[in-house]
Amino acid sequence: MRKLVVSTFLTLDGVMQAPGDPDEDRSGGFEHGGWQMPLFDEGSGEAVSAGMARSDAFLMGRTTYDIMAAFWPNQPDDDPIAAVMNGYTKYVVSDSLDEVEWENSTLIEGDVANGIRNVKEQPGKDIVVVGSGNLAQTLMEHDLVDEYGLLVYPLVLGTGKRLFRDGGPHTPLKLVDSSTTENGALVLRYVPVSRTGGGDTEE
């Protein structure tokens, strides 16, 4: 079965909201959009590339889909990141979209948990959840996450949407890999203990 990996950028106080652009997500009065960009370094890029190499599909919610579908198809053909974003399969969870037009995109409607379980049973590499904080809550609630790939930056914002929110499920995790980038970001990979049988995790 394919692994479902929640991969996200976080501040030290756990905020995942709008790392890339000031206008990415201002909901809740958030004014710190684009916080990650001054801290993004070579090590961050290497971590992102390594995660992409282990995957061949993305899973995202409506808001993330709208942001990415408006940007990546318009990038140059020789942009290696654009080639990945446009070429990989995209699974989109939404109850308000009738269709998805970005190439290689598939809409998941109805029972989200069962739809994602069906996707995980198909052959392929890892499926990476990008952004999509609300969708991540649903995945954690239904015990669908096989791995967390976190880039934690040395920054405290004090406000914003967090990945691990109050009222979320109790989930013991096992650290399977870690490193530090030149700007002090922590590159962390965790697997739920329920996925390891309590023993060692094979890479």
**Residue-wise pLDDT tens digits, 98-142:** 899 999 999 998 899 999 999 999 999 999 998 889 999 999 999
**DSSP-derived secondary structure letter, 1:** -
Sequential DSSP letters for 51-110: HHHTEEEEEEEHHHHHHHHHHGGGS-TT-HHHHHHHHSEEEEE-SS-S---STTEEEE-S
The domains found in the chain, sorted by start residue, are: 4-186 (3.40.430.10)
Q: How far apart are CA 71 and CA 74, in angstroms?
A: 6
Q: Quick check: pTM over 0.85?
A: yes
Predicted pLDDT of residue 88: 96
